[in-house]
């Protein structure tokens, strides 16, 4: 008898197998962040990090004093004096060496110091918070990766970022330490707000009137300046629920489709950027997401299926705008910008890149100059649920590859940042300072670092 027949013959056994997988998966899902944190804990003294710890995940990337000072915008003497005078917490020291060497600073620590010195960058005061989406109906086109990395690129530079996961697959929520369907449920997502589902929020313990704003849905992450509105598989039900919702109301389409934007604008004062991770499907949720944005970046991998799906995305976007222009002119319309994603070197990709540019570029700048590289480092780091920006170069198995990937993503995000500044702040000089990603304080043998660390300690004891 074949295995298939056996399965057909005993459905109970088949269900028992599936149950086993689900139970194991459940256990692993709840343990992954804890295990990842444990591995990191063994490397460093983490008293200070523990305060910033959320959902069992920690920041592991460390920057040297010199790098931290450059990122903060103060000189090392000023920083060291503030630490010595207890205006700032004492620095962490490495536990893996008998020498007294600084362990370096995490981004959370750097952001705390930025706050102390008042050097954190902020969006122009008079401007609302830009809402930037990463969308394409093509699955796997790198929406989540791009959104995730861009949020960290901004947070590393000191901006306050809100990321909104609109995808029922909830990968972004997972990467930020949330457990979709385990610790994130329907009442934690944008759904009750979009569907005006007051009953579910009250049942979950929220005060009356909670469905009027998105405040109930905002959660902290282990990055002190990145908050998240998470997602879970229940967002799928928006599709089913929204049909009856649309049928039950006489409200014009625009008031349904502008709901998410209204909700996000209500949170705008607390952030410099709001980023949306899109879903590879079309429903009320997707239209709300697209129309909530000031700018939508459309990642387009250079392959024929990705190209044709991106065209389909443009077609649906066109149809939605057409419907809205008849129904409610004056509705917010996002600017679309395409960028080539997962680009490899070689003739095939070059050909598809020129196809993408010639089709999607009607005016200058419609397709970004920079692309995201296809990089094995992305896959490697996401397996450990950390990104290339969170990896210490000294711990990488391919330091050059990591450096190259960070540099290429930085170039892409610099350009995105220019586009956002141009459209949302009318100011392209708003580009954040670059960050030297080549060094970290965890190297064990390189002379430069030891020298630097001992110099730092001398400074510290002056």
Sorted by sequence, the CB contacts under 8 Å of residue 73 that are 6+ apart come out as 114, 117, 119, 433
CA-to-CA distance for 461 and 362, rounded, in angstroms?
60
Q: Work out how close the CB of 426 gets to ligand ATP at its nearest, in angstroms, rounded to a whole number.
A: 30
CB of 277 to ligand ATP, least distance (A): 7
Smallest gap, in angstroms, from Cβ of residue 64 to ligand ATP?
Answer: 27
Task: Tell the residue number behind the tokens 């459940």, with chain if given.
Answer: 26
Neighbours of 86 (CB within 10 A): 8
Instruction: State the binding partner of 432 from ligand ATP, Mg ion, none, CB within 5 to 8 A by kind.
Output: none
CB nearer to ligand ATP: give 258 or 375: 375
Q: From CA 157, how far away is CA 135, in angstroms rounded?
A: 24
Given candidates 112, 143, 178, 188, which one binds Mg ion under the rule CB under 5 A? Answer: 143
Query: What is the sign, positive or negative, of the torsion defined by CA atoms of 82, 85, 89, 95?
Result: positive
Instruction: Between 73 and 280, name the residue whose CB sits nearer to Mg ion.
Output: 280
- With CB under 5 to 8 Å by kind, the binding choice for 283 among ligand ATP, Mg ion, none is none
Q: Give the one entry of Mg ion, ligand ATP, none that residue 145 binds, where binding means its C-beta sits below a cut-off of 5 to 8 angstroms depending on kind.
A: ligand ATP
Binding residues among 362-391 for Mg ion as defined by CB under 5 A: none
Report whether 150 contacts 276 (CB < 8 A): no
Convert 321-339 to b/e letters by CB count within 10 Å (16 or more is b): eeebeeeeeebbebbbbbb
Interacting positions 288-307 with Mg ion (CB under 5 A)? none
DSSP 267: T
| In the complex, least distance from residue 171 CB atom to Mg ion, rounded to whole angstroms | 5
Closer CB to ligand ATP, 59 or 145, in the complex: 145
Give the three-class secondary structure for 368. Answer: coil
Distance CA 342, CA 378 (A): 10
Q: Which does 140 bind (CB under 5 to 8 A by kind): Mg ion, ligand ATP, none?
A: ligand ATP
Alpha helices per DSSP H over 142-283: 143-156, 171-175, 191-194, 198-203, 237-248, 253-257, 259-265
Q: What is the rounded distance in angstroms from the CA atom of residue 429 to the CA atom of residue 370?
A: 18
Q: Which residues bind ligand ATP (CB under 6 A)?
A: 139-145, 167, 169, 171, 280, 342, 372-375, 378-379, 382
- Cβ proximity to ligand ATP: between 49 and 147 the closer is 147
Interacting partner of 173 out of Mg ion, ligand ATP, none (Cβ under 5 to 8 A depending on kind):
none
Q: How many residues touch Mg ion (CB under 5 A)?
A: 2
Closest separation in Å from C-beta 316 to Mg ion:
18
Q: Which is closer to ligand ATP, CB of 64 or CB of 171? A: 171
Cα 80 from chain centroid? 32
The CA distances from residue 62 to 81, 390, 455, 456, in Å, are 20, 9, 18, 15
160 binds Mg ion (CB under 5 A): no
Q: Least distance in Å: CB of 345 to ligand ATP?
A: 13
Name which of 76 and 144 has its Cβ closer to Mg ion: 144
Pairing of strands 226-229, 219-220: antiparallel
Supply the DSSP symbol for 345: S
Q: Which is nearer to ligand ATP, 67 or 171 (CB)?
A: 171
Q: Pick from 59, 109, 142, 144: which binds Mg ion (CB under 5 A)?
A: 144
Region of 141-149, 200-208, 307-315, 432-440 interacting with Mg ion (CB under 5 A): 141-149
Minimum CB separation of residue 132 from ligand ATP in Å reads 15
Q: Which of the listed partners (Mg ion, ligand ATP, none) does 139 bind, with a CB threshold of 5 to 8 Å by partner kind?
A: ligand ATP
Residues that bind Mg ion (CB under 5 A): 143-144
């Amino acid at each position: 008898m074949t295995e298939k027949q056996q399965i057909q013959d005993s459905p109970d056994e088949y269900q028992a197998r599936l149950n086993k997988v689900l139970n194991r998966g459940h256990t692993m899902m709840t343990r992954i962040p804890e295990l990842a944190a444990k591995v990191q804990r063994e490397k460093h003294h983490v008293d200070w990090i523990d305060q910033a710890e959320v959902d069992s995940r920690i920041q592991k990337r460390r920057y040297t004093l010199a790098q931290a000072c450059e990122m903060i915008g103060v000189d090392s003497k000023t920083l060291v004096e503030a630490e010595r005078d207890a205006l700032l917490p004492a620095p962490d020291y490495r536990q893996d060496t008998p020498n007294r060497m600084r362990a370096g600073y995490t981004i959370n620590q750097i952001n705390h110091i930025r706050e102390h010195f008042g050097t954190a960058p902020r969006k122009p005061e008079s401007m609302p918070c830009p809402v930037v989406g990463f969308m394409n109906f093509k699955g796997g086109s790198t929406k989540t990766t791009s959104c995730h990395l861009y949020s960290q690129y901004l947070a590393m530079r000191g901006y306050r970022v809100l990321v909104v996961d609109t995808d029922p697959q909830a990968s972004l929520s997972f990467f930020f330490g949330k457990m979709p369907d385990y610790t994130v449920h329907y009442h934690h997502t944008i759904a009750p707000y979009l569907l005006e589902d007051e009953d579910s929020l009250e049942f979950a313990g929220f005060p009356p009137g909670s469905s009027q704003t998105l405040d109930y849905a905002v959660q902290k992450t282990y990055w002190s300046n990145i908050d998240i509105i998470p997602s879970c598989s229940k967002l799928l039900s928006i599709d089913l629920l929204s049909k009856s919702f649309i049928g039950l109301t006489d409200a014009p389409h625009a008031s349904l489709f502008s709901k998410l934007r209204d909700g996000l604008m209500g949170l705008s004062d607390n952030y410099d950027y709001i980023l949306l991770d899109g879903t590879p499907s079309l429903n009320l949720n997707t239209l709300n997401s697209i129309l909530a944005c000031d700018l939508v970046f459309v990642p387009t991998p250079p392959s024929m299926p990705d190209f044709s799906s991106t065209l389909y995305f443009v077609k649906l976007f066109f149809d939605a705008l057409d419907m809205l222009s008849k129904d409610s002119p004056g509705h917010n319309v996002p600017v679309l910008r395409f960028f080539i994603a997962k680009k490899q070197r070689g003739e095939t990709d070059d050909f598809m890149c020129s196809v993408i540019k010639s089709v999607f570029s009607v005016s200058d700048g419609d397709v970004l100059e920079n692309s995201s590289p296809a990089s094995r480092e992305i896959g490697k780091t996401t397996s450990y649920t950390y990104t290339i920006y969170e990896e210490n170069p000294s711990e990488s198995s391919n330091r050059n590859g990591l450096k190259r990937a960070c540099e290429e993503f930085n170039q892409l995000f610099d350009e995105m940042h220019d586009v956002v500044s141009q459209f949302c702040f009318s100011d392209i000089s708003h580009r954040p300072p670059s960050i030297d990603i080549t060094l970290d304080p965890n190297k064990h043998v390189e002379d430069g670092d030891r020298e630097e660390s001992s110099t730092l300690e001398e400074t510290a004891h002056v």
